[in-house]
């Protein structure tokens, strides 16, 4: 089967004052359909750059990037993105913020109304469709941005530290919710995080990167059946994966 995401020898170099910055080099990765893959690595190792390349927001400097076997040459409706901050428009309600994605993509808003309400209840925001962002907690706002990323039914969900700004307990809760949404919608997910435990809890595989220039050090497989409850964190396989990822992260070193 063709991988949902294929990265072949992908590199990225940015121009800088003193020459250039080599952000990524020699990235080889295939993500299968419905797989949940996390990316861990020191700050500045190129995680967001990698995600932006897959999303078609920036081109790679070299190598091959395929989504569903097709070369990526710009933003695509196959992709939904969630960033660290929810970036909701304060003057729009929850429903209207979700519908923004439909408007931007010039799709028929009425046709997506039911879908929007279904997503709102899927992420546990029933009763908040007409609320404004300031009336929601950070976790609730991030749920809205998850709905916004899913409304046009992309097959790939790209998430760049989506829970990074949340407190530890809310973050755990969001992890559980994301697992539920993922099990229900069966998206292919590429998920960037700084939390080793979060990566292990959510993922099929964890890509651990080294410091700049970002390269893949090792891919850690997490073989724990789903759905995973918080008790999965007591599973010896959970600890093994956390230990392995932590060792690799320590070996990755600090960015220059
Ligand atoms: N548009 C850009 N122009 C120039 N340099 C850039 C640009 N975007 C990223 N970089 C550089 O590329 C490297 C990787 O950045 P990136 O944001 O991908 O790292 P990251 O792994 O996401 O870091 P963090 O964990 O802090 O979010 C950094 O050295 C950064 O300064
Ligand atoms: Mg980043």
Q: What are φ and ψ of residue 252, in 5° steps?
A: -65, -25
Ligand nearest to the CA of 160: 2
Q: What is the pLDDT of residue 212?
A: 78
Q: What length does the chain have?
A: 256
Q: How confident is the model at residue 254 (pLDDT cuts 50, 70, 90)?
A: low
Instruction: Inform me whether the pLDDT recorded for 38 exceeds 90.
Output: yes
Terminal-residue alpha carbon distance, the chain: 40
76: Cα separation from own chain's centroid: 16
Q: What is the mean pLDDT of the chain?
A: 94
Distance CA 235, CA 4 (A): 30
Q: What is the pLDDT of residue 108?
A: 87
CA dihedral defined by 115, 154, 75, 205, rounded to 10 degrees? Answer: 140
**Distance (Å) from CA 47 to ligand 1 centroid:** 8
Ligand nearest to the CA of 23: 1
Q: What is the pLDDT of residue 149?
A: 95
Sequential DSSP letters for the chain: ---SEEEEEEEEEEE-SSSEEEEEEEEEEEE-TT-EEEEE--TTSSHHHHHHHHHTSS--SEEEEEETTEE--S--TTEEEE-SS----TTS-HHHHHHHHHHHTT--TGGGHHHHHHHHHHTT-TT-TT--GGGS-HHHHHHHHHHHHHTT--SEEEEESTTTTS-HHHHHHHHHHHHHHHHHH--EEEEE-S-HHHHHHH-SEEEEEPSSSB-EEEEEE----SS--GGGGGSHHHHHHHHHHHHHHHHH----
Q: What is the pLDDT of residue 2?
A: 86
**Distance (Å) from CA 161 to ligand 2 centroid:** 7
Q: Of residues 252 and 115, which shows the higher confidence score?
A: 115
Distance CA 42, CA 47 (A): 9
User: Which residue's CA is minimally distant from atom 25 of ligand 1?
Assistant: 43
Distance CA 110, CA 162 (A): 28
**What is the C-alpha radius of gyration for the chain, rounded to an integer number of angstroms?**
18
Domain map of the chain by residue range?
A: 1-78+155-256, 84-153
Q: What is the pLDDT of residue 192?
A: 98
CATH of 1-78+155-256, one of 3.30.1330.10, 3.40.50.12780, 3.90.1150.10, 3.40.50.300: 3.40.50.300
Distance CA 201, CA 229 (A): 9
Q: Of residues 158 and 76, which shows the higher confidence score?
A: 158
- Report which ligand 1 atom has the smallest distance to the Cα of 194: 25
Percent with pLDDT over 70 in the chain: 98
Ligand nearest to the CA of 256: 1
Q: pLDDT, tens digit, for every residue of 200-232?
A: 999 999 999 998 789 999 999 999 999 999 999
**Distance (Å) from CA 2 to ligand 1 centroid:** 29
For 33-38, what is the mean pLDDT?
97
Q: pLDDT, tens digit, for every residue of 50-109?
A: 999 999 999 999 999 999 999 999 998 899 999 999 899 999 999 999 999 899 888 888
Residues with CB under 6 A from ligand 1: 14, 21, 23, 41, 43-49, 212
Q: What is the pLDDT of residue 256?
A: 45
Q: pLDDT, tens digit, for every residue of 164-187?
A: 988 999 899 999 999 999 999 999
Distance CA 63, CA 137 (A): 41
């Amino acid at each position: 089967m063709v991988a949902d995401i294929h990265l072949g020898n992908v590199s990225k170099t940015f121009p800088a004052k003193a020459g250039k910055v080599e952000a990524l080099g020699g990235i080889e990765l295939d993500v299968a359909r419905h797989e949940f893959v996390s990316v861990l690595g020191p700050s500045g190792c190129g995680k967001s750059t990698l995600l932006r390349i897959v999303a078609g927001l920036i081109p790679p400097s070299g190598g091959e990037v395929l989504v569903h076997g097709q070369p990526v040459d710009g933003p695509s409706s196959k992709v939904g993105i969630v960033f660290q901050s929810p970036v909701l428009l304060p003057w729009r309600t929850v429903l209207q913020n979700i519908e923004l994605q439909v408007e931007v993509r010039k799709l028929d808003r009425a046709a997506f109304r039911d879908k929007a309400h279904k997503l709102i209840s899927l992420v546990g925001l029933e009763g908040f469709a007409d609320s404004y962002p300031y009336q929601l907690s950070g976790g609730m706002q991030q749920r809205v941005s998850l709905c916004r990323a899913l409304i046009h039914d992309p097959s790939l969900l790209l998430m760049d530290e989506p829970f990074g700004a949340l407190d530890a307990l809310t973050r755990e809760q969001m992890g559980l919710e994301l697992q539920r949404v993922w099990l229900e919608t069966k998206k292919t997910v590429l998920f960037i995080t700084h939390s080793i435990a979060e990566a292990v809890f959510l993922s099929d595989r964890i890509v651990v990167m080294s410091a700049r220039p970002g390269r893949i050090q090792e891919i850690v497989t997490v073989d724990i059946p789903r759905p995973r409850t918080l008790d999965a964190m007591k599973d010896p396989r959970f600890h093994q994966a956390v230990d392995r990822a932590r060792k690799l992260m320590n070996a990755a070193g600090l960015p220059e």
